[in-house]
């Protein structure tokens, strides 16, 4: 398993979808995971140190873990199937280790609240991560200017992967909750 950290939270300007960027703790590979706006807000608020008088959903879940005598040992982002990422919350209670299936976005929001480590597999990083290199201009993309029926850029999966390899995380807009 490879430890990762939340490098940044942004907004994919092409789809207006929030993206959490995870980076290897001891490396340069980054793993972008597109997430929902609610989870992005929960992550952004925790990263900004915002606290509320009443617990929000992820705060509540963290309180439940502690209330039942557990600790969040780690979050494991385990696989991607048909563009859907899977994660597990690894909760320790006494000598028992309990694995709870969860979305990566929720898992990351809870891990930040509980100061738990986040891990992913070497295989997942190897096959779905990007290494940040020189930023690529959108006009340099094959198929730039073409549009699909949905109005997005007409890029094949290979062209999108190449675009992501040359994308600087700063190219994502800053997500503001």
Q: Which residue has the tokens 């563009």?
A: 83
Cα–Cα distance measured from residue 39 to residue 27, given in angstroms and rounded to the nearest whole number: 26
List 91's β-bridge partners, or say none: 72, 98
Cα–Cα distance measured from residue 139 to residue 28, given in angstroms and rounded to the nearest whole number: 25
The model carries a pTM of 0.74
Cα–Cα distance measured from residue 173 to residue 13, given in angstroms and rounded to the nearest whole number: 6
Domains in the chain, please, with CATH?
Answer: 2-132 (3.10.690.10)
Residue-level pLDDT, tens digit, the chain, 177 residues: 999 999 988 888 888 889 999 999 999 888 989 999 999 999 999 999 988 889 899 999 999 999 999 999 999 999 999 889 999 999 999 999 999 999 999 999 999 999 999 999 998 888 775 554 333 333 333 333 333 332 333 444 555 455 555 555 555 555 565
């Amino acid at each position: 398993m490879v430890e990762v950290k939340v490098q940044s939270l942004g907004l994919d300007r092409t789809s207006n979808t929030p993206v959490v960027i995870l980076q290897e703790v001891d490396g340069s590979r980054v793993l972008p995971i597109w997430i929902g706006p609610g989870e992005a807000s929960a992550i952004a608020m925790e990263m900004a140190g915002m606290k509320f008088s009443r617990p929000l959903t992820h705060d509540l879940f963290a309180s439940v873990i502690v209330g039942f005598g557990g600790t969040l040992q780690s979050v494991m982002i385990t696989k991607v199937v048909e563009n859907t990422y899977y994660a597990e919350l690894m909760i320790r209670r006494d000598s028992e280790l309990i694995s709870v299936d969860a979305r990566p976005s929720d898992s990351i929001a809870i891990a930040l609240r509980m100061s738990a480590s986040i891990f992913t597999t070497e295989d997942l990083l190897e096959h779905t991560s990007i290494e940040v290199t020189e930023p690529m201009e959108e006009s340099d993309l094959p198929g730039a200017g073409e549009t699909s029926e949905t109005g997005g850029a007409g890029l094949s999966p290979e062209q999108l992967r190449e675009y992501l390899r040359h994308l600087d995380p700063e190219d994502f807009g800053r997500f503001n909750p």
